[in-house]
């Protein structure tokens, strides 16, 4: 009897040790796979400045930013959220192929989810971008296709409020139409773009570009990748999502007056008036361009002066709360956030 008990204990110990070792090997394999995906992305998509200021909770990796926190789920069946200090949150669900997967964070801050058969993986990066000393947040989502058996379409469903929708830039009229290049906009119920998604791209293991495109169906954005017999695997395709940036500051009534008077000064048109005089002497066609710039600048200044004068006359309470909205614009080397509009309300305290 005693011998039987001892044998049972030895068997139990061996079983638990073997099980623990197997579990450890499984975890090590999955982490190694995630690191290999991150290395492939770095090779084909290039190095990005990933926000490493990440707090992990039970359900979320939170990348804390300046006005926007990027919330990346621990499980693939939960959404990625750009949590805004001002404005509507951007909520995007990952493709169903990784809905049962766990997101593993790699050494460089990339969160990787793989499909059950490891034919493909989805990776999410919370990026930091700087322009003129200000930090902006971007969500970069990448799909790594391991072989020819993997799907060619990947759906990203956005949870949007009523009246909001997705639209291709060619189908949306705004002041940046000259920069239309295949972007996607998230449009709110006031027909304003609140988020910009970069044009899609795809590269194979040799760095060769593949044919790829977006499809929109309701609130679902689909990435389509077209491979061929010469495609070298793995293939990486990606998109970057740029929520509008909001900057808030407060002005007293005297501060509002200074803003108004800034647009009423004589110096505002000096450079355009000088250009107009010089161009009229040298070249008629240049003079035409200069005239248009001069007239446009006059109209812009008049509009800004009128707006700030209205704020000055309507001023009430203690402060004017000014929220400046910046929108992402793709323009090659000039890509970046540009001021879109100012919203002014009056408050009693900051």
What pLDDT does 27 receive? Answer: 57
Residue 97 CA to residue 114 CA, distance in Å, equals 8
Residues 6 or more apart whose Cβ sits within 8 Å of residue 326: 136, 244, 245, 246, 247, 337, 338, 339, 340
Angle between the 253-262 and 284-313 helix axes, to the nearest 10 degrees?
160
**pLDDT in the model for residue 47:** 77
pLDDT for position 295: 55
Q: How confident is the model over 132-154, as pLDDT tens digits?
A: 667 788 999 999 999 999 999 99
Tokens representing residue 55 in the block: 């707090």
Please write down the HEC assignment for all residues of the chain. Answer: CHHHHHHHHHHHHHHHHHHHHHHHHHHHHHHHHHHHHHHHHHHHHCCCCECCCEEECCCEEEECCCCEEEEEECECCCCEEEEECCCCCEEECCCHHHCCCECEECCCCCEEEECCCCCEEEEEEEEEEEECCEEEEEEEEEEEECCCCCCCEEEEEECCCCCCEEEEHHHCCCCCHHHCCCCEEEECCCCCEEEEECCCEEECCCCCECEEEEEEECCEEEEEEECCCCCCCCEEEEEEEEECEEEEEEECHHHHHHHHHHCCCHHHHHHHHHHHHHHHHHCHHHHHHHHHHHHHHHHHHHHHHHHHHHHHHCCCCCEEEEEEEEEEECCHHHCEEEEEEEEEEEECCC
Look at the block and give the residue holding tokens 């006005």: 67
Question: What CA–CA distance (Å, rounded) separates 207 from 306?
Answer: 53
What was the pLDDT predicted at 3?
A: 54
Give pLDDT, residue 42.
Answer: 94
Distance of CA 53 to the CA centre of its chain: 17
Helices 284-313 & 270-282, crossing angle to 10 degrees?
160
Backbone angles phi, psi at 27, to 5 degrees: -65, -45
Q: Provide φ and ψ at 263, rounded to 5°.
A: -90, 0
| Residue of 77, 72, 150 lying closest to 117 (CA atoms) | 150
CA pair distance 144, 48, nearest whole angstrom:
17
pLDDT of 28 reads 83
As beta bridge partners, residue 250 has 321
Grouped pLDDT means (10 residues each) for the chain, 350 residues? 52 48 59 95 89 94 92 97 90 96 95 92 91 80 96 97 95 80 94 94 96 97 94 96 88 91 65 48 48 57 85 89 86 76 86
pLDDT score recorded for residue 272: 47
The percentage of residues in the chain with a pLDDT greater than 90, rounded to a whole number, is 52
């Amino acid at each position: 009897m005693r011998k039987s008990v001892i044998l049972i204990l030895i068997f139990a110990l061996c079983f638990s040790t073997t099980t623990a070792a197997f579990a450890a090997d499984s975890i090590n394999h999955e982490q190694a796979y995630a690191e290999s995906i991150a290395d492939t992305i770095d090779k084909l998509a290039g190095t990005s400045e990933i926000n490493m200021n990440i707090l992990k909770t039970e359900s979320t990796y939170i990348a804390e930013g300046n006005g926007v926190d990027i919330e990346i789920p621990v499980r693939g069946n939960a959404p990625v959220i750009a949590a805004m200090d001002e404005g509507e949150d951007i909520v995007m669900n990952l493709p169903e192929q990784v809905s049962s997967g766990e997101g593993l964070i790699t050494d460089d801050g990339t969160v990787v989810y793989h499909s059950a058969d490891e034919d493909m993986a989805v990776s999410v990066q919370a990026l930091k971008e700087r322009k003129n000393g200000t930090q902006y947040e971007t969500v970069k989502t990448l799909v790594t296709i391991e072989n020819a058996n993997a799907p060619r379409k990947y759906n990203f469903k956005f949870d949007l409020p009523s009246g909001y929708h997705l639209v291709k830039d060619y189908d949306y009229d705004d002041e940046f139409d000259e920069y239309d290049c295949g972007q996607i906009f998230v449009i709110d119920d006031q027909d304003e773009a609140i988020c910009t998604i970069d044009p899609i791209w795809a590269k194979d293991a040799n760095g060769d570009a593949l044919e790829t495109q977006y499809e929109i169906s309701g609130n679902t954005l689909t990435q389509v990748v077209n491979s061929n017999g010469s495609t070298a695997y793995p293939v990486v395709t990606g998109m970057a999502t740029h929520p509008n940036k909001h900057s808030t500051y407060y002005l007293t009534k005297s501060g509002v007056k200074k803003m108004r008077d800034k647009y009423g000064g004589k110096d505002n048109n000096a450079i355009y008036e000088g250009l107009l005089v010089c161009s009229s002497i040298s070249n008629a066609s240049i003079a035409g361009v200069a005239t248009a710039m001069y007239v446009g600048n006059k109209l812009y200044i008049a509009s800004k002066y009128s707006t700030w004068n209205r704020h000055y006359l309507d001023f009430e309470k203690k402060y004017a709360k000014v929220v400046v909205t910046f929108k992402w614009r793709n323009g090659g080397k000039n890509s970046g956030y540009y001021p879109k509009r100012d919203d002014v309300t009056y408050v009693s305290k900051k």
